[in-house]
Amino acid sequence: MPELKIERIQVKSILSKSNLPVCEYSVNPYVGCTHACKYCYASFMKRFTGHSEEWGTFLDVKYWNEIKNPRKYNGKELFIGSVTDPYNPQEEEYGRTRALLEQLKGSGAKLSIATKSDLILRDLELIGSFPDARVSWSVNTLDESFKDDMDKAVSIERRLNAMKEFHRAGVRTTCFISPIFPVITDVKAIIERAKEHCNLIWLENLNLRGGYKAVIMDYIADKYPRLLPLYQTVYNRNDRGYWQALDGELKEYASRIGLDYVTNDDSMTRPFDAPPVIVNYFYHSEIKKSAARGGVKNA
Ligand code: SF4
């Protein structure tokens, strides 16, 4: 892997109006992400930010003028980490996510933070001071060697432990089972591990778009050759049979263990101590596009 290239950059504003259905503003204190996931959907960012380096080998550290009038964000949904991990290892040194939280403290903004790290434990108290804050950890395997093949983030054990600590401290947590790799991701085993420590369980299937499709298919051919025909069916012939069967199986499993199972519904109306709701977001991005055209409500 080439050496990591880190640059400090000055940006006009750190908050951007978002068209994601889950938030009104998205916030990314860094450009790039050193977790370097092989399946990273955010790697398209390279095109817009003038980077030609390999994804995961560069990081722009953002500096901005202090947020004026943070109360303007009172009650607004802010999503931190849509195209980076705000708690990448470099956050320990640069502290830009921490700076952002300190500037927004007391604003009344509703935070949603996505990470694959436990460095976020450093900011537990600060995050807990925001109303309705929630934090999600991506966990798509319990097999640390598969995880090591896919990303450079901290171990799954450390992610699950951070989730437990936040939940114990009364902050809403989400176990984001994403991306689900056909057969390799044992969704039920992950739910068993996480269900006592989270308020939501999101499910998202692996999409293979762009440059990383070949990387993943080559990996499957090399490490899981017996699964290659299935992956070819799902990703070369766009056959949804696997996902439909998994959806049915998980629905049945959820009902057996007494958890609600919904599709594309992220309403947060449960009391904190209620069991988590499983939300299926299979093919969510396609549904979003359709919703944008007026085709689907509540996506
Ligand atoms: S943690 Fe998220 S943003 Fe970072 S490389 Fe992985 S998928 Fe991409």
Ligand 1 in reach of 31 Cβ (< 6 A): no
Ligand 1 in reach of 37 Cβ (< 6 A): yes
Length of the chain: 299
Name the band, by pLDDT with cuts 50, 70 and 90, for residue 284.
Answer: low
Q: Would you say 34 and 87 are in contact if contact means Cβ atoms under 8 Å apart?
A: no
Q: Which residue has the tokens 């933070």?
A: 113
Confidence (pLDDT) at 182 = 98
Ligand 1 in reach of 62 Cβ (< 6 A): no
The Cα diameter of the chain in Å comes to: 57
Instruction: Give the C-alpha separation, 16 to 280, whole Å.
Output: 27
Range in 36-45, 79-88, 162-171 the model is least confident about: 36-45
Backbone angles phi, psi at 98, to 5 degrees: -60, -45
- Picking from 37, 29, 16, 12, the residue whose alpha carbon sits closest to that of residue 113 is 29
Percent with pLDDT over 90 in the chain: 80
| pLDDT tens-digit readout, 212-262 | 999 999 999 999 999 999 999 999 998 999 999 999 999 999 999 999 999
Ligand 1 in reach of 204 Cβ (< 6 A): no
Q: Which atom of ligand 1 is nearest to the CA of 36?
A: 5
Range in 61-65, 246-250, 262-266, 283-287 the model is least confident about: 283-287
Separation of CA 90 and ligand 1 centre (Å): 14
Instruction: Give the C-alpha separation, 225 to 216, whole Å.
Output: 12
| pLDDT tens-digit readout, 100-113 | 999 999 999 999 99
Q: Which residue among 1, 30, 37, 209 has the greatest number of ligand 1 atoms within 8 angstroms of its CB, and so is best to mutate?
A: 37
Q: Would you say 85 and 116 are in contact if contact means Cβ atoms under 8 Å apart?
A: yes
Separation of CA 201 and ligand 1 centre (Å): 19
Ligand 1, atom 6, residue with closest C-alpha: 37
| pLDDT tens-digit readout, 250-276 | 999 999 999 999 998 776 578 999 999
Q: Quick one: which H or E segment has residue 80? A: strand 77-80
Name the band, by pLDDT with cuts 50, 70 and 90, for residue 1.
Answer: low
